[in-house]
Amino acid sequence: MTSSTTGATSTRSVTQGHQPDGAQEVSRADTWPGPAAPLVWLATLALVGAVLGGLIGALVGAAGDEEATASATFEVVTDARALNSPLATSTTNVDTDTFVEGQLQALESLREAREDDEASLTVSQVGSADVLRISATAPTADQATAAVSGLLDAYVTARQEAAGASVTAALAAVQQRLDALAVLGGTDEAGTPVGQEVQRLLSQQSELQAAATRVPGIVPVLRGTTADEPAGAPSWLLSGLVGAVLGAVLLLAAGAVWRATTSRMFDARLLVAAGVTVLLPRLPAGRVRGRGRQVPTRAPNARALSAARLLVPQVTEVGRGAGSLAVFGADERAGASEVVWELAWAIASSGAPVALLTTASAAHAERPDGQRRADGTERVVTSALSVVELPAQPDDDVLAAAVAQQRAAGRQVLLHAPALTTGVRAHDLARHVDRAVVVVGEGVSSLEGALAAVRDVSGSTAPLLGVVVTTTSGHLGRAQVDAPASHPAEETTSPRQETIPSEV
């Protein structure tokens, strides 16, 4: 397959190596699956931002002052119309629009006089009808109701007092006229002008007395003071939704800025563009914080083992005699220990014996049984897989003897070299093996660090086959694979080899 990346054509000259039989001659950049899980990364950022923003928004909404509203509506009619009484012409012939506007001004004056910090009052006209609404907003429904009732009662009282005073004044005037006519006499004579005036005045007096009884209903209340039901969703829910959206957007924006400014390499196709052979498929190496110098103690899961089995023919020559491969990490978090562990299991699963050589600093972590193993101990993991623990900084003779011993036993040798960032010299270790690979963590290692590691290993005597890229996918199963203490390495045999005591 021909790579679609121009730089990939010069891979062989950069790495100074060759691809083994069955592997492709150039990097398959045209079938590369893409950057290090950008969709998963973006989805995680969005989810975390939405959860955090939603919680903060909900808390803010719940802690905020919950406001209650109450209102009342009433009709505005003139006194003459409401009382149905013969009041003064200046009162009965008032234009309706002008009267409504005047009552609005009167209510505004009363509202300003009753304004306080607990409730906020508003007065408005309902459309173009002769109906006014008094509304109040307060921390509680009782406070809002009390504010509306107080303003409405004050307005009604003022209207009643004004109407009552007008009726009383009119009755006094009528009575005064009747008293004056009684002094003149002839009040009982209906046919006389004086008698006719008396009858008119008596009729007017009767109407005014009836109007006086209608003064309490001078303001027709259409809907009494009631607390309004809250409309829509609760405020804490709305605040939570707004906070979730803002949190997701802000965290995605922050992630985009960080990804654009960080030195980490999120797309290993940059290496292909630089002329470096990138071996596929990528191998899972687990969470970045979980990676370290120690070789894992649990068997790889099925996904990791399948990927490693596809990679094995590109880095080893299983079936053509014992070979040796050095695995260098571009940095300590690149996942070199996970890669060499998965490759060892993949080789062993095919039935070929394999020995994994690792330094004491990487292998002498506390074991599950609480014991530490001495330098040079050969630990049998399976019938075809052994782990040999070397000193932290083995000299050339010790390393050469260990590699020669395992190769003499017919085993494939995998050398887990320390990360190049620890100061190890790739040339000193690579001259004891047949070939080498560099492990780069996508989303972990920097492009400069990866290219520097490729340059260092390319300058050694062992041909650099290419770069193995690791991802953050899970790679370990649940089964513990430490050999039981009652079965030391010297007493364990493999179907394809004799017992080989350690001499390191």
Rounded Cα gap, residues 42 and 251, in angstroms = 9
| Amino acid 498: pLDDT | 38
Contact residues for 276 (Cβ-Cβ < 8 A; gap 6+): 11, 14, 15, 27, 450, 451, 454, 466, 467
Taking the C-alpha atoms of residue 231 and residue 241, their distance in angstroms, rounded to an integer, is: 17
Calpha distance 112→105 (Å, rounded): 11
H/E segment holding residue 454 = helix 447-458
pLDDT in tens, 296-331: 888 999 999 999 999 999 998 876 777 899 999 898
Measured between alpha carbons, how far is residue 198 from residues 50, 85, 167, 325, 394 in Å? 86, 18, 19, 133, 137
Q: Give the DSSP letter string of 400-430.
A: HHHHHHHHHTT-EEEEEPPPGGGT--HHHHH
Buried-state track 138-166, b at ≥16 Cβ within 10 A, e below 16 = beebebbbbbbbbbbeebbebbbeebbeb
The CA distance from 14 to 20, in Å, is 17
The DSSP output letter for 230 is: P
Measuring CA to CA, which residue among 129, 120, 128 is closest to residue 71? 120
SS3 state of residue 84: coil
pLDDT given for residue 95 in this prediction: 65
DSSP state of 228: P
- CA–CA distance, 451 with 274 (Å, rounded to integer): 8
Distance of CA 155 to the CA centre of its chain: 54
Instruction: Kindly write down the DSSP assignment for every residue of 241-298, as one continuous string.
Output: HHHHHHHHHHHHHHHHHHHHH--B-S-THHHHHTT--EEEEEEE---GGG--SSPPSE
Prior bond to 313 cis, omega within 30?
Answer: no
Query: Per-residue pLDDT averaged across 269-273, rounded?
Result: 87
Q: Please list, residue by residue across 342-351, b when 16 or more beta carbons sit within 10 angstroms of its beta carbon and e when fewer do.
A: bbbbbbbbee
Which of 87-101, 103-117, 293-307, 475-489 has the weakest average pLDDT? 475-489
Q: What is the pLDDT of residues 63-104, one digit of tens each?
A: 765 678 888 998 888 877 877 755 554 444 456 778 888 888
Inter-helix orientation angle 96-114/141-184, to 10°: 130
Residue 454: both structure tokens together: 């490729």
Burial of 359 (0-12, 13-18, 19+ CB in 10 A): buried
Residue 375 confidence (pLDDT) above 70: no
DSSP H or E stretch at residue 81:
helix 79-83
pLDDT tens for 30-62 read 455 566 667 777 888 899 999 999 999 888 877
The pLDDT, as a whole number, for residue 35 is 66
d(CA 232, CA 226): 19
CA distances (Å), origin 87, targets 76, 447, 472: 17, 97, 92
Strand partners for 134:
72, 123
- N-term to C-term CA, the chain: 45
pLDDT in tens, 5-29: 333 333 333 333 444 444 444 444 4
**pLDDT in the model for residue 342:** 93
Q: Is the pLDDT of residue 246 over 90?
A: yes
- Give the 3-state secondary structure of 341-405: HHHHHHHHHCCCCEEEEEEHHHHCCCCCCCCCCCCCCEEEEECCEEEEEECCCCCHHHHHHHHHH
φ/ψ (deg, to 5) at 392:
-60, -40
3-state secondary structure of 482: coil
Mean per-residue pLDDT for 128-144? 85
Other Cβ atoms closer than 10 A to 196: 12
